[in-house]
Amino acid sequence: MSQNEGKRLSGEKAAEYVTDGSIVGVGTGSTVAFFIQALGRMKHRIEGAVSSSEQSTRLLTELGIPVLDLNASGPLALYVDGADECDPQGRLIKGGGAALTREKIIAEASKQFVCIIDASKQVKLLGKFPVPVEVIPMARSLVARELLKLGGQPIWREGVVTDNGNWILDVHNWQLTDPVAMERDVNQIPGVVCVGLFARRGADVVVVDGVLRA
């Protein structure tokens, strides 16, 4: 099966988790784009969506799905999003599309996080994919020095500005044997807005190539 086909199947499978009359949390990326298409086909059954990025907001709006503010919606029943890596415990690296901060906020606000991936995203140990860290621009060098001390090799994703007006450092060659501890440590560096490690709150359900992972 091609990677794209795996993404399509997972995106469509996630539609089965959507309940009538609900507001759905929507992630970002090419896998989520398939989910948004499926959501468009059932838009009359939902109240709307809370979006994690300008990119997803555009796709949702084009399909006539109301995009709501998380402050108004309150807690959500369901959040659907992709990932760059997923370990056997459902812990994730996210943020390849630079939308990690809003993604983490919506994941935290949601009762169930359904992660949709193709088989290539499955890993035994997180860390082959560079871990994105969103930083306040003036803190870029300071945060990079601290990330070096934590054993990673940060590289500035030059030219990319997040939806929140911040910058991204991608941390390469990280030994992530304890991703929960690393997530906590990175969060403590002044100037860090968000780290793309979703370990403390990972996925509740993982769908791989359209099939629910046991």
Near ligand 5RP in 43-82, by CB under 6 A? 81-82
Chosen residue from 8, 13, 91, 94 binding ligand 5RP by CB under 6 A: 94
Is there a catalytic annotation at residue 103?
Answer: yes
x-or-dash string of contact with ligand 5RP, 18-37, rule CB under 6 A: ---------xxxxx------
Q: Are 189 and 157 in contact (CB under 8 A)?
A: no
**Binding test (CB under 6 A) with ligand 5RP, winner from 6, 25, 95, 210:** 95
Name the minimum Å distance from CB 195 to ligand 5RP.
Answer: 12
Q: Residue 212, Cα to own-chain centre: how many angstroms?
A: 18
Maximum distance among all alpha carbons in the chain? 51
How far apart CA 127 and CA 107 sit, in angstroms, is: 21
The residue from 54, 62, 103, 158 that is catalytic is 103
Q: How many residues bind ligand 5RP (CB under 6 A)?
A: 18
Minimum distance, C-beta of residue 193 to ligand 5RP, in the bound complex (Å): 13
Edge-to-edge strand list for the sheet holding 76-81: 48-51, 23-26, 76-81, 110-117, 205-208, 211-212
Name the residues that contact ligand 5RP, by CB under 6 A. Answer: 7, 27-31, 81-84, 94-100, 103
